[in-house]
Amino acid sequence: MLVSVQNLHKSFGDLDVLKGIDLSIEKGSVVAVIGPSGSGKTTMLRCLNALEMPNKGTIQFEQDLRISFDKMPSKKEILQLRRKSGMVFQSYNLFPHKTAIQNVMEGPIVVQKKEKAVVQKLAENLLKKVGLEEKMHLYPHQLSGGQQQRVGIARALAIEPELMLFDEPTSALDPEIVGEVLTVIRDLANEGWTMAIVTHELKFAEEVADHIVFIDGGYIVEQGPPAEILKNPKEPRTKQFLNRLLNPS
């Protein structure tokens, strides 16, 4: 088991967004998180690397890191947790004044204090991996949305995380370029990267994920293998959600 989450709670003021999340992520597995808007999917993902600070619960990475949020974790613990995962955002979040390769190099140099020459070679290889070796010296405004998102994936990979987190990585993209980003994620899955992906792309989730988690109202309503959750869900709420998504009319 790579990651174990127990009784995770998160509220914003009087709004309870997560109401006791229990989740396990196996090393080398792909977990797809689905659910309606406002269900807590993105909040759960952001809690996994403390971009949102949980109010309660624990997150454990194998045997080397266990953080309880019943009290405020130390800065050292939060930094350790963030170094475990790489985050790919909906809206790319690239530095506009830095080129593609500079964006990829930023984390390893600034946060991890690695040598520039070593990081540059790593960044070149990662940009090649995502099909952007010819675009590495361009700025974000010179790239398409799909290309910017692929830079974002390379940037997340550059810190060599144990867990990759994707927050609806195709939601801001034009439909015709969604495929180029999904192809990169599919390739990472085939390489054995451990990933948690918030997505509304059910076909992609069915193809790539080992485990589907359906969240609604701050709870995990149902979880299991894709064939079980997407084809034969047990819970009425899961059936209702999938029916509305697959048959919008």
The series of mean pLDDT values per 10 residues for the chain, 249 residues long, is 97 96 97 96 96 96 93 93 93 94 95 93 97 97 96 96 95 88 94 96 92 97 96 96 82
Encoded amino acid at 47, one letter: C
> Which helix (H) or strand (E) segment is 140 a member of?
none
Answer yes or no: do 75 and 169 share one domain.
Answer: yes
Q: Which of 160, 182, 205 is the last residue of a domain?
A: 160
Q: What is the rounded distance in angstroms from the CA atom of residue 195 to the CA atom of residue 163?
A: 6
Q: What is the pLDDT of residue 176?
A: 85
Question: What is the pTM for the complete model shown?
Answer: 0.94
- Identify whether residues 175 and 73 lie together within a single domain: yes
Last residue of a domain, which of 122, 137, 160? 160
Examine the domain organization and report whether 48 and 101 are in the same domain.
no
Residues 70 and 175 in one domain: yes
Instruction: Write down the pLDDT at residue 129.
Output: 95
pLDDT at position 114, please? 93
Q: For residue 14, what is the enclosing H or E element?
A: none
One domain for residues 114 and 15: no
* Angle subtended at Cα 216 by Cα 209 and Cα 153, rounded to the nearest 5 degrees: 40
CA gap 148, 63 in Å, rounded: 35
Report the CATH number at residue 177. Answer: 3.40.50.300
Strands (E), 89-168: 163-167
How far apart CA 126 and CA 150 sit, in angstroms, is: 10
Considering its fold, how many domains does the chain have in total? 2
Identify the burial level of 68 via C-beta atoms within 10 angstroms of its C-beta, where 0-12 means exposed, 13-18 middle and 19 or more buried.
middle
CA 148 to CA 164: how far, in whole Å?
Answer: 17
Quote the domain boundaries for residue 60.
Answer: 1-84+163-249
170 and 228, same domain (yes or no): yes
Burial class (CB in 10 A: 0-12, 13-18, 19+), 117: exposed
How far apart are alpha carbons 104 and 111 in whole angstroms? Answer: 12
| 81 phi and psi angles, rounded to 5 deg | -65, -45
pLDDT at 249: 62
Do both 64 and 77 map to the same domain? yes
Name the domain boundary from 106, 138, 160.
Answer: 160
Measure the CA–CA gap between 80 and 65, rounded to whole angstroms.
Answer: 8
